[in-house]
């Protein structure tokens, strides 16, 4: 993959990075809609030293990176290795939490992975940065693959109709979490275990409520909570993840391929155990 560190290097050189604030990197979805979310980073030298350390470790890991669950990648996307080579990893600062890692489509149509290194500071001391990088690169690169296969999915996630947004989030995040979940291979996860069963039941209940919601204000909150907040509280992402894990368990890679090829339309309802025609 290609690495662009222009913004983070400007920060490390004590330059004013506000000149980058109008770039497409800094447009994001909030509870109030899509807006500029640039936050000027702290000028403290201690922060710059932290960012420098994180940058070095990520670059070392990215140079030898191979994703988790390559059998799933091979089953779903035949030429994914070519896509990885064409993808750019942008190392930046200036995004608010929790935007540590994301995938965005640039104005020229190319997909980029974006790591905000100040948002990575919270990981220091919890586990090796290489492990976090492995998980997030796997997750975000799979979003790139999904975006190339379904070019309108990012737009629908951010600005589509209500049901389209739920479908796109559950599908895109479900598959990306599946290949990266806890850095584990899919056959080592207890998809029917007590913990994930509890998460799935909660997520399904919330998804069913979301699919029936008519209030515009409540719909906005449902969309925000679909993929923001604590990890296991992201009900749409969790619905997609655990549904796909259980589908793999019963039907293997063939079943995952079948679901991927069917696309995201109706996937929110499907992941909650409903038939798509039941969506209101």
Strand duo 111-116 + 101-105: pairing:
antiparallel
Q: Which residues of the chain fall below pLDDT 50?
A: 277-280
Instruction: Give tens-digit pLDDT for 155-207.
Output: 899 889 999 999 999 999 999 999 999 999 999 999 999 999 999 999 999 99
The predicted pLDDT at position 172 comes to 97
> What pTM value is reported for the model?
0.84
* DSSP string of the chain, one letter each residue: -EEE-HHHHHHHTT--GGGGTTSGGGEEEETTEEEE---PPP--HHHHHHHHHHHHHHHHHHTT---S-HHHHHHH-TTHHHHHHH-EEEEE--PPTT-SEEEEE-TTS-EEEEEETTTTGGGTTTS-HHHHHHHHHHHHHHHHHHHHHSTTHHHHHHHS-HHHHHHHHHHHHHHHHHHHGGG--GGGS-TTSHHHHHHHHHHHHHHHHHHH---HHHHHHHHHHHHSSSGGG-HHHHHHHHHHHHHHHHHHHHHHHHHHHH-STTHHHHHTT--GGG--
The predicted pLDDT at position 215 comes to 96
The predicted pLDDT at position 280 comes to 37
The predicted pLDDT at position 279 comes to 40
**189, 198 Cβ separation under 8 angstroms:** no
């Amino acid at each position: 993959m290609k690495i662009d560190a222009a913004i983070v290097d400007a920060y490390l050189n004590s330059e004013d990075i506000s000149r980058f604030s109008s770039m497409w990197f800094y447009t994001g979805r909030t509870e109030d809609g899509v807006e500029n979310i640039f936050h000027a980073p702290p000028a403290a030298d201690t922060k710059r030293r932290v960012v420098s350390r994180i940058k070095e470790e990520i670059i070392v890991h990215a140079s030898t990176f191979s994703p988790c669950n390559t059998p799933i990648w091979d089953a779903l996307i035949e030429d994914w290795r070519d896509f990885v080579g064409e993808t750019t990893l942008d190392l930046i600062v200036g995004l608010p939490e929790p935007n540590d890692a994301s995938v965005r489509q640039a104005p020229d149509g190319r997909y980029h992975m974006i790591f905000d290194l100040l948002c990575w500071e919270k990981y220091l001391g919890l586990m090796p940065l290489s492990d976090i990088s492995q998980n997030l690169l796997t997750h975000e690169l799979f979003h790139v693959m999904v975006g190339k296969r379904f070019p309108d999915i990012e737009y629908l996630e951010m600005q589509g109709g209500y049901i389209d947004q739920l479908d796109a989030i559950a599908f895109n995040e479900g598959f990306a979490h599946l290949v990266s979940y806890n850095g584990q291979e899919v056959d080592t996860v207890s998809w029917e275990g007590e913990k994930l069963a509890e998460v799935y039941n909660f997520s399904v209940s919330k998804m069913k409520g979301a699919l029936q919601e008519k209030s515009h204000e409540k719909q906005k909150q449902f969309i925000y909570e679909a993929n923001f907040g604590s990890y296991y509280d992201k009900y749409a992402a969790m619905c997609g993840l655990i549904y796909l894990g259980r589908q793999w368990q019963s039907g293997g890679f063939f079943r995952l391929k079948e679901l991927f090829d069917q696309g995201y339309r109706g996937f929110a309802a499907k992941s909650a155990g409903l038939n798509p025609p039941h969506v209101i």
